[in-house]
């Protein structure tokens, strides 16, 4: 129904997404959250003077989402109906060539000792080291059983991989235990037609361990998110808005590309992100700005670092809002509580800044978001709400 009501106009909507923004009260820090502890005068001023608060549920009550489903929800796509594998997002974000029959996966360099994964992220090695390791693997393993293998380094321990050959399937279980101190996992077929692909993937992983056996930290690889290109409605057509994504991490460029958003270039930092936004502001109606550091700090259980990341983002908020968007949404794709050191099912704090005159008069943090007038909504409903505040929805019925 919503699609039929959308009005095409030049009103601007900006989504500032702080990855893993949500948190829970931490007994070690006076039962505060990083968002509550952060000194963020700019966000709080907008929240008090022009903002309404609420919370979003990324997928379903009690469901812990991945970053892919979390972002799909923010952009108004039902993440249960539309599944996009992590691998596709990674390789598109890295600008890798992807053909219709290819299978993509997201890779981690990791540390394995006696068959146990002791560190899934290999100590978050420097990106330059990841680049060298990918080059070694590419030279040593150009193909497996007639299937071509293409690698490209991402940030730190991450990389993308594309398997290219006949009869490949993406119906594979992750070759990743998802937790440290677990046995090394191999790919398992979800269907009989995927047995060949599972064998190729596992052969590649074993060969990679042989190539990396002398590495002190990054001596193995994990693969997950096996996927092919999805069939999904494109964002600019669905919402009648030309859209621009500005993000420093490959996966989120991948999400934007899958949805048909324009990705101009990779900013070196968040100051350059604002410069790119300013440079292209007149050409687009929707902007997706992505911040990763909040999620990284949450996964490390680093309360102070997550607080600092929020405080740094606050310094660029005045420059963003100076462009006078009709709507500014500050949101997260999921919660990554520091006490849990990982994604969680907890609702995510939400701030909507608009010029309708509405305001909750409260600073922006989880406890106040629980009181906010927006209430607790499913994240897939947020785009409709943003369109409404942006005066981009016609009246329904007579």
Run of H or E residues at 56:
strand 51-57
Provide the mean pLDDT of the chain.
95
Q: Which residue has the tokens 């290999």?
A: 122
Q: Which residues contact 353 (CB under 8 A, 6 or more apart)?
A: 46, 47, 50, 51, 321, 327, 328, 329, 330
Mean pLDDT value across residues 110-136: 95
In the chain, pLDDT over 90 holds for what percent of residues?
A: 87
> How far is C-alpha 145 from the geometric centre of its chain's CA atoms?
33
pTM above 0.75, yes or no: yes
Q: pLDDT tens digits, residue range 272-329?
A: 999 999 999 999 999 999 999 999 999 999 999 999 999 999 999 999 999 999 999 9
Q: pLDDT tens digits, residue range 163-189?
A: 999 999 999 999 999 999 999 999 999
Structural domains in the chain, CATH included, are 2-82+231-389 (3.40.720.10), 88-227 (3.30.70)
Give the total residue count for the chain. 398
Integer Cα distance of 42 and 317 in angstroms: 6
């Amino acid at each position: 129904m919503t699609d039929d009501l959308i009005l095409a106009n030049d009103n601007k909507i900006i989504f500032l997404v702080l990855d893993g923004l949500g948190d829970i009260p931490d007994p070690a820090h006076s039962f505060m959250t990083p968002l509550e502890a952060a000194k963020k005068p700019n966000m709080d001023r907008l929240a008090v003077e022009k903002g309404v608060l609420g919370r979003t549920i990324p997928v379903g009550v009690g469901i812990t989402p991945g970053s892919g489903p979390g972002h799909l929800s923010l952009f108004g796509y039902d993440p249960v109906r539309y599944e996009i594998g992590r691998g596709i997002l990674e390789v598109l974000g890295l600008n890798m060539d992807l053909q219709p029959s290819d299978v993509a996966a997201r890779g981690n360099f990791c540390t394995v000792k006696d068959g146990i994964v002791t560190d899934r992220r290999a100590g978050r090695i420097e990106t330059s080291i990841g680049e060298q390791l990918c080059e070694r693997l590419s030279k040593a393993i150009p193909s497996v059983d007639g299937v071509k293998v293409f690698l490209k380094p991402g940030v730190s321990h991450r990389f993308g991989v594309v398997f290219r050959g006949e009869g490949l399937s993406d119906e594979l279980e992750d070759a990743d235990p998802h937790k440290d101190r677990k046995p090394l996992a191999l790919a398992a077929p979800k269907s009989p037609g995927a047995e060949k692909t599972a064998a190729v993937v596992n052969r590649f992983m074993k060969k990679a361990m042989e190539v990396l056996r002398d590495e002190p930290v990054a001596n193995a690889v994990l693969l997950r998110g096996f996927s092919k290109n999805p069939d999904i409605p494109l964002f600019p057509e669905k919402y009648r808005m030309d859209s621009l994504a500005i993000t420093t991490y490959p996966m989120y460029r991948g999400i934007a590309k899958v949805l048909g958003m324009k990705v101009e270039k990779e900013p070196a930092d968040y100051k350059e992100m604002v410069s790119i936004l300013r440079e292209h502001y007149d050409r687009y109606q929707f902007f997706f700005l992505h911040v990763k550091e909040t999620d990284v700090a949450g996964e490390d259980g680093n309360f102070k670092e997550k607080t600092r990341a929020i405080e740094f983002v606050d310094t660029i908020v005045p420059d963003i809002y100076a462009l006078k968007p009709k709507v500014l949404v500050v949101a997260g794709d999921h919660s990554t509580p520091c006490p849990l050191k990982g994604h969680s099912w907890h609702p995510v704090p939400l701030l909507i800044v608009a010029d309708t005159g509405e305001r909750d008069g409260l600073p922006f943090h989880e406890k106040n978001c629980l009181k906010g007038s927006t209430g607790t909504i499913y994240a897939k409903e947020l785009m409709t709400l943003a369109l409404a505040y942006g005066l981009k929805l016609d009246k329904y019925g007579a």
